[in-house]
Amino acid sequence: MIKFILWLFTFCLVTTVMGQKANYKQAERFLNLGSLVGTTSIIPNALKGTDKFWYKYQTGDGVHYYLVDPSSKTQRELFDRERVAGEISRVTHKPINYKDLKISGVRLEKGNDVVYFTSEKIEFQYDARSGKVIPADSVKVSVEKKKKGENKKLETSPKNNKTQQWNGTYSPDSCYTVYAKRHNLYLFCVRDSSEIQLTTDGTPECSYAGKSLDTTGKKVAAPVEWLAGSKYFYVEREDKRKMESLYLVNTVTQGRPTLNEYKYSMPGDKNIRKNELHVFSVDQRKEVEFPIEKWKDQTLTVYKIGKPVKNLYLLRKKRTCDEVEFCRVIPETGEVKVVIHEKCEPYFNDQLFNVHLLHDGEEIVWWSERTGHGHYYRYDKDGNLKNVITSGGWTAGKIVKVDTVKQTLYFEAYGQKKGEFPYFALLNKVRLDGKGDVQLLTPELATHKVHFLAGGRYFVDNFSRADMEPRSVLRNSDGKIVLELASPDLSRLYETGWKMPEPFTVKAADNMTDLYGYMWKPADFDSTKRYPIISYVYPGPQTEAVPFEFSVVTAFNNAALAQVGFIVVTFGHRGGSPLRDRWYHTYGYGNLRDYPLADDKYGLEQLIDRYPFIDGERVGIFGHSGGGFMSTAAICTYPDFYKAAVSSAGNHDNNIYNIWWGETHHGIKERVVTEKKKVKNPVTGKDSTITVKTVEFEKPNIPTNIELASRLKGHLLLVAGDADNNVHPANTMRMVDALMKAGKNFDMFILPGQGHGYRGIALDFFKRKLWFHFGKYLLDDHSSEGFNEIDAYMRLK
């Protein structure tokens, strides 16, 4: 009897768990909810010479146009939409929907009571006092514009007689112009119409004409920047001549498939792309020689002040990515003067690193992680540290505005509120001299995106987070809210059953580091049921999959996937976001495959233990690009934990992925090779032996998913686009080859004509195949099989 009861209990449990049906119909409804949201962020259009601005905003009631006056703390609609639409219809004889009124070219006159705008290619004038809408005097307007255009032409044309042959980039004194022909530079003297060829080494793969591919010999623009005084100019150039190529075949073109060849640097390549800076002297009619190259295969970033350029700088970085120099380039002496030199192991944070030049280069604002957190420092023009601008156990981010009159820096910061979500951008201000405390201007725990008005006294603050509705306010420069602006109407969205994702925190595998994430549930969620859990992953190290702000459609639409019948989560991993401290984002250095895996598994185990509605026996994982790489690594590393995975466009072999990803985050070693050579003495004619030292780089050995193929137990779906020039489809094909050789069963499909980001029908197809894969292997629902058309299947459901 006891055995029978146990058998009956087990049977009922299995039936309950495995009898769940995939709700593809509900998931389908959640795919296209973006149209129910409308505007979520305000972009102010400033009125010249004032703090006033206007903006456009769309809700369920249609499009509205608002005028804001910060000084009086007022907001009003620019015009009566119905009246304006009616008048436009009367003039154009076209039906106009006042709720979808499309206008452009807005300007205001006479105390902002007269509004000019363009609609249906006609300029109209609206008088707010009388309510009249009339076509503007098109003849008068066109004459005025023509006169302004002629005057401008006369002012900017050298000697008012610019001809068609004098094209290119003009010097500040209008005496010279520079252009390119057949990828080389030419200097043209306006005074005597003489042309001087300055270079002879230009080629299509190392062109002075930038991205131009023209080889016909006609004059084309060159990316030239003139220095003040008209005696020097410079141009940046990329040298790709010795780089090796990758190849893709366009399989969906009409007629014969065509070959797509492109240059691509991989970790450890001997010949990579080189950045060059070339400075030319007008008086000498030639290039000025500079000792720019300090390190083999260094990268260069050019910084300039003014237009024309008053001062010229460059930032050079070693190929090992752990040492940089900020230098002043002085054309008159041919000198490259090192201003700031810094080392940062194992690598510099490319996402947040910043240099800002003040007072024509007299002062330098420099971002550094030297204390473990990214902060700003102020240097003088010679590289002497004047003061620390920011400090503390948080990260200073992007510079938003610098007020040089008030000596104030406005910047984003992350992690200022301990124990809270560390990825929200909060606006702060601080004195450049470091005196006084940092002032937090946007205290709401959310991602803030701000737009300062021209006067700098006010800014529009748009803020939201994944579990909070968007809000837009007008603040003054001290952060005080002056005015509430328009907000979205989400009532229709909520009527569909859509719900905000729920935030959560788990520990990393070290059981000390906090990891932050969000959870999506089905709209018909029942806490008494048990659901499979799916982890959406992207391991970084330059970003994470965690959403920072409100969005109905995140990643590959986690909300829609949850409707199929899953708990869907995403959270960070050590080695992920660069917005946290230096230790966190460099955790995975030298371990470019395995570093996030233990954290994902341990985080999921905590959620399984915490919530009885999560079934720990049915765990899935999916991701795209780095997430595709990680999902395959995870199901092969922990084959008894993850039961199903979808791996999209994964870089399964980082040895053939791009140089930045592999060398920056896995490392590359520099070595000096000493070689003895015999040379002939030009005076004596006798041979002598000299020692020559050269720098070489050791090709890194990065672990791959291919090495894990034999460990696969669960159900893996591999996906790739055959036109992906970022993560080459060879990554997926090598994984397929390894799985076949290991005798493993798996699924795979290729999306024809798709690059790294899937689009159109292919994206829709992929999303549904993602649902079907998890529905089949986590819900044991095979109802998606046997249908030839996915759309027809959806209609049947």
Transcribe 729-751 into DSSP letters. Answer: THHHHHHHHHHHHTT---EEEEE
Residue 600 parent element (H or E)? helix 597-610
Residue in this structure with the two tokens 């007299």, named with its chain if needed: 362
Going from N- to C-terminal start, the domains of the chain cover 22-36+493-653+704-796, 45-148
Per-residue model confidence as pLDDT tens digits over 82-138: 999 998 999 999 999 999 999 888 888 877 778 899 999 999 999 888 888 889 865
Q: Based on the number of CB atoms within 10 Å of its own CB, is 160 exposed (0-12), middle (13-18) or buried (19 or more)?
A: exposed
Task: Say if residue 587's pLDDT is above 50.
Answer: yes
Averaged pLDDT for residues 733-739: 98
Letter string b/e over residues 748-772, b meaning 16 or more CB atoms within 10 A of that residue's CB: eebbeebbbebeeebeebbbbbbbb
Q: Based on the number of CB atoms within 10 Å of its own CB, is 42 exposed (0-12), middle (13-18) or buried (19 or more)?
A: buried
**Where in 102-250 does DSSP place strands (E)?**
104-109, 114-119, 122-127, 133-135, 169-170, 176-181, 184-189, 194-197, 224-226, 232-239, 245-250
Question: How many CA atoms lie less than 13 Å away from 453 in the CB half-sphere?
Answer: 27
How many residues are present in the chain? 797
For residue 548, the tally of other CB atoms under 10 A from its CB is: 19
**Where in 173-267 does DSSP place strands (E)?**
176-181, 184-189, 194-197, 224-226, 232-239, 245-250, 258-263
Residues 6+ apart with CB under 8 A from 5: none
**Bridge partner list, 372:** none
**Where in 681-744 does DSSP place strands (E)?**
687-698, 715-721
Q: In what order do the strands lie in the sheet with 194-197?
A: 169-170, 176-181, 184-189, 194-197
d(CA 246, CA 657): 11
Per-residue model confidence as pLDDT tens digits over 182-235: 999 999 999 999 999 999 999 999 999 988 777 778 899 999 999 999 999 999
Q: Please name the amino acid found at residue 670.
A: E
d(CA 265, CA 697): 14
Residues 6+ apart with CB under 8 A from 660: none
Task: Say if residue 628's pLDDT is above 90.
Answer: yes
Tokens found for residue 629 = 């790489």
Averaged pLDDT for residues 618-636: 98
Domain 22-36+493-653+704-796, second-level architecture: 3-Layer(aba) Sandwich (3.40)
Strands 644-648 and 715-721, by their bridges, are parallel
Q: Based on the number of CB atoms within 10 Å of its own CB, is 241 exposed (0-12), middle (13-18) or buried (19 or more)?
A: middle
Tokens found for residue 362 = 């007299």
Per-residue model confidence as pLDDT tens digits over 383-441: 999 999 999 999 999 999 999 999 999 999 999 999 899 999 999 999 999 999 999 99
**Bridge partner list, 376:** 367
SS3 category, 701: coil
Averaged pLDDT for residues 647-671: 95
Q: Please name the amino acid found at residue 152.
A: K
For position 692, what pLDDT does the model report? 75
CB 517 within 8 A of CB 546: yes
d(CA 337, CA 318): 17
540 — pLDDT class (breaks 50, 70, 90): confident
622 — pLDDT class (breaks 50, 70, 90): very high
Mean pLDDT of the chain: 91
**pTM for this one?**
0.91
Q: Based on the number of CB atoms within 10 Å of its own CB, is 658 exposed (0-12), middle (13-18) or buried (19 or more)?
A: middle
Strands 715-721 and 747-751, by their bridges, are parallel
CB 735 within 8 A of CB 652: yes
Q: How far is CA 364 from the centre of its chain?
A: 26
Residue in this structure with the two tokens 């084309």, named with its chain if needed: 220
Q: How far is CA 611 from the centre of its chain?
A: 35
